[in-house]
Amino acid sequence: MKWKLTAIATGLAFALSSGMAQAGSELNLFNWGNYTNPELLEKFEKETGIKIVVTDYDDNDSALAKVKVGGHGFDMAVPSSNYVPIWIQEGLLLEARPDQMSNFKNLEARWQDVDWDPGRRYSVPWQWGSVGMMVDTAVYNGDINTSSLIFDPPPELVGKINVAPEMGDVMGMVLRYIGSKPCTNDKAMLEKARDVLLAAKPKWRSMEYGVIEKIAAGDLAASLYWNGASFRARLQNPDIHYGYPREGYSLWMDSVVILKDAKNVENAKTFMNFIMEPENAALISAFARYANGVEGSVQYMPEDMATAPEVVIPAEFVDAGHFVPPCPPDVQKIYTAIWTELQK
Amino acid sequence: MVDMSNSSQPRMHRRPFSVVTQTGFTEMAVICFVLLYAPLVPLVVYSFNAGSSLAFWEGFSFRWYVAAWNNEMVKDVTIRSVYLASVASVIATCLATLAALGTTRTKPYKGLTAIYAMINQPLMVPEIVTAVALLILFAGIKQATDYHGMAYLIIAHTAFCIPFAYLPIHARLEGMDLTLETAAADLYATPWQTFRRVTLPLAWPGILAGGILAFVISLDDVIITQLVKSPGQNTLPTYMLGQLRRVITPEVNAIASVLLAVSVVMVTIFFFLNRKNK
């Protein structure tokens, strides 16, 4: 019995002491799982002497919930672009003014001022990408740069299509496909969008995540999916290509922000400035395989990334890409109704 | 006198009723085992894949086991998970033993059923509800004390492990022969001596079973851990979940296979310990 009590006592003492050792040069980053390059952390620690601790989350909502109740202990988080306005409105973010930092000039011009964070007063790009068409060209060798592949599929693809279950991206894409725009409150257009989706649904096989393996192995022939995933599928199967729908497709960006109740504000600002350095930004991309938005980082990236058509958007399709704004509540309600009907 | 025994003799030789001999039993059992274990086969097989895919077999290799072993992150979260599960299951088992004694070695009293229900409450309440409740409660404490250590996770895990430890201990105590304890008391053993020399050794297999169950339950918890953890407190399951959302490599299979092997070993140890004690 005695050894048991000793074990508990030691355990508790250890637990308490490990928590108390908070002070010192530290930084607590709350980021998506498997998204942070260990080499980046090592380099940061070596150059600044700040020890950085990463903790994982796996969706925007739970991260927001945890930070919102307070007492979380984090200094920084990496919300997606459509969530940043919510974080700002909830008063969770520190106005860190990255636009006044010395490396801000390294950001590509188009990321220096963005809709979800006008003037970049709160956030710095971590990684960005697009949602497009991932296609097995051995099955279908026609034009892949169109969203008609899933909304009005050619016979070769029928029954072999997957659609990522992302309401905002799918709704945005179908509205652009029928010539409208995301978050419209035009009832006729929304009705048309619903009809297109319901007519297309029987020709799809699934609406799920985790399709890289399936499409690479030939179980699926097309999917509405993310560019980085398509890139990895191509490395496994050279027939997999990524199309940018010319009717319009969604872009996304995950951005680094500092929390209002951060304990290590100065360290967090140092980190923000650090990742806008091209060489460091390249480390982020080399790990998770998405672009980072920092000018000149490409030359430090792995060879296969610098030229990948999934990462570097071909000039002719650049203008078709848009960020999905958070829709007003009344539109959101119609979106949800259509989405529920679609998932039946 | 009619000889009843003779006439009933043939019937006595019929085999007693057994569910095992019913038609369809074997088929049913096979289907159940296949459903339970078949999904594990590809998981383990692909953990030995030489390529980085979960769909193409590119030859046999220990590459992903080596990768997982050399992955500092995996090492870090595994140590944390084992530490957490050990501390939480030991505390939970001690408390559960006390609770089991308190609900069996006593005359039935008013409110016993209520106590029984309260102890088993974590089994009934959906985990997400407990998780949200703990998130809110601990957030307040974290803000007030500025303490962000492992104690929160230990407390949370201990709490939901108690019923899992309690059930086998309770069952064991319930099924024990009370005359042995009475005999010890008759021979002037103090209550502590009776407990130490009679009750505890006899209850030990139940306590061990409870402890192992609590350890395993704590080891694979995701939801509560996800919402309670403070900075730097990723556990193995939350790490694996984060991994799944991005790039899946057979490294996850390798980690999962090792976890599987550990649980098989633990169940086997428990089985032999239990048999010896009988």
- B101-137 residues labelled b (16+ CB within 10 A) or e (exposed): bebbeeeeeeeeeeeeeebeebeeeeeeebbbebbee
- How far apart are alpha carbons B153 and B232 in whole angstroms? 12
Helical packing angle, B72-104 and B151-175, nearest 10° = 40
On whether the CB atoms of residues B115 and B103 are closer than 8 A, the answer is yes
Does A213 lie in the same domain as A325? Answer: yes
Distances (CA, A) of B82 to B78, B231, B273: 6, 18, 22
Tell me the nearest-neighbour CA distance from B120 into chain A, angstroms: 23
Residue A168: the pLDDT is 87
Residues of A in contact with B91 (CB under 8 A): 8
Contact A216 B242 (CB under 8 A): no
- How far apart are alpha carbons B193 and B186 in whole angstroms? 12
Minimum CA–CA partner of A16 in chain B: B149
Residue B4: the pLDDT is 47
Neighbours of B192 (CB within 10 A): 8
Contacts of A35 (CB under 8 A, 6+ apart): A78, A126, A127, A254, A287, A288, B242, B246
Residues of A in contact with B241 (CB under 8 A): 33, 56, 58
Partner-chain residue, chosen from B72, B231, B243, that has the shortest CB–CB distance to A28: B231
Residue A84's closest CA among A228, A249, A335, A258?
A258
Distance of CA B207 to the CA centre of its chain: 12
Contact B243 A8 (CB under 8 A): no
Residue A19: the pLDDT is 43
Query: Hey, is A174 helix, strand or coil?
Result: helix
Ranges under pLDDT 50 in chain B: 1-8
Tell me the nearest-neighbour CA distance from A220 into chain B, angstroms: 13
Does A56 lie in the same domain as A75? Answer: yes
Minimum CA–CA partner of A237 in chain B: B56
Residue B71: the pLDDT is 86
pLDDT values of chain A reduced to their tens digit, one per residue, 344 residues = 455 555 555 554 554 444 444 445 899 999 988 888 999 999 999 999 999 999 988 888 889 989 999 889 999 999 999 899 999 999 999 999 999 999 999 999 989 999 899 999 999 999 999 999 999 999 999 999 999 999 999 999 999 999 998 888 899 999 999 999 899 999 999 999 999 999 999 999 999 877 888 898 888 999 999 998 899 889 889 999 999 999 999 999 999 999 999 999 999 999 999 999 999 999 999 888 899 999 999 889 988 888 889 988 999 999 999 888 778 889 989 999 999 999 88
Query: B-contacting residues of A 235-264, CB under 8 Å?
Result: 236
* pTM, full prediction: 0.78
Does A193 lie in the same domain as A101? Answer: no
Partner-chain residue, chosen from A7, A35, A210, that has the shortest CB–CB distance to B90: A7
Contact A213 B53 (CB under 8 A): yes
Contact A15 B243 (CB under 8 A): no
Each residue's pLDDT tens digit, B111-147: 888 988 888 888 889 999 999 999 999 999 998 888 9
Say how many CA atoms lie within 13 Å of A161 toward its Cβ. Answer: 24
Partner-chain residue, chosen from A55, A74, A216, that has the shortest CB–CB distance to B53: A216
Q: Token pair 């633990």 is at which residue?
A: B266
For A57, list phi and psi in degrees, rounded to 5.
-135, 165
- How far apart are alpha carbons B71 and A12 in whole angstroms? 28
Contact A33 B94 (CB under 8 A): no
For A334, list phi and psi in degrees, rounded to 5.
-70, -40
Q: Can you say whether the dihedral through the CA atoms of A186, A188, A194, A197 is positive or negative?
A: negative
A76, β-bridge pairs: A29, A258
**Structural domain harbouring A31:** 2-127+253-306
Contact B154 A33 (CB under 8 A): no
Does A106 lie in the same domain as A9? Answer: yes
Burial level of B195, CB count in 10 A (0-12/13-18/19+)? Answer: middle
On whether the CB atoms of residues A163 and A224 are closer than 8 A, the answer is yes
Q: Which of A34, A52, A220 has the most B C-beta neighbours within 10 Å, making it the best mutation to test the interface with B?
A: A34
Does A158 lie in the same domain as A48? Answer: no
Does A232 lie in the same domain as A157? Answer: yes
On whether the CB atoms of residues A193 and A171 are closer than 8 A, the answer is yes
Residues of A in contact with B147 (CB under 8 A): 16, 19-20
Does A272 lie in the same domain as A134? Answer: no
Residue A182's closest CA among A293, A62, A82?
A82
Does A282 lie in the same domain as A187? Answer: no
Contact A33 B147 (CB under 8 A): no
Q: Which of A58, A127, A219, A285 has the most B C-beta neighbours within 10 Å, making it the best mutation to test the interface with B?
A: A58
The reply to whether A38 touches chain B by the CB within 8 Å rule is yes
Residue A7: the pLDDT is 54
Residue A272: the pLDDT is 96
Q: Token pair 């590509």 is at which residue?
A: A108
Q: Token pair 């005695």 is at which residue?
A: A2
- How far apart are alpha carbons B110 and B113 in whole angstroms? 8
Helical packing angle, A38-48 and A265-275, nearest 10° = 120
Contact A12 B154 (CB under 8 A): yes
Q: Can you say whether the dihedral through the CA atoms of A109, A110, A114, A118 is positive or negative?
A: positive
Tell me the nearest-neighbour CA distance from A43 into chain B, angstroms: 16
Does A259 lie in the same domain as A215? Answer: no
Residue A338: the pLDDT is 94
Does A295 lie in the same domain as A274? Answer: yes
Residue A15: the pLDDT is 47
Query: B-contacting residues of A 159-218, CB under 8 Å?
Result: 209-210, 212-214, 216-217
Contact A70 B73 (CB under 8 A): no
ipTM confidence score: 0.72
On whether the CB atoms of residues A262 and A76 are closer than 8 A, the answer is yes
Domains of chain B: 71-277 (1.10.3720.10)
The reply to whether A12 touches chain B by the CB within 8 Å rule is yes
The reply to whether A50 touches chain B by the CB within 8 Å rule is no
Can you give the length of chain A in residues? 344
Tell me the nearest-neighbour CA distance from A223 into chain B, angstroms: 17
Tell me the pairing of strands A161-163 and A222-226: parallel
The reply to whether A69 touches chain B by the CB within 8 Å rule is yes
Does A179 lie in the same domain as A102? Answer: no
Domain count, chain A: 2
Tell me the nearest-neighbour CA distance from B50 into chain A, angstroms: 13
Residues of B in contact with A16 (CB under 8 A): 147, 149, 151
Q: What is the CATH number of the domain that holds A41?
A: 3.40.190.10
Q: Can you say whether the dihedral through the CA atoms of A21, A25, A28, A33 is positive or negative?
A: negative
**Chains A and B: how many Cβ contacts under 8 Å?**
135
Tell me the nearest-neighbour CA distance from B40 into chain A, angstroms: 18
Does A197 lie in the same domain as A276? Answer: no
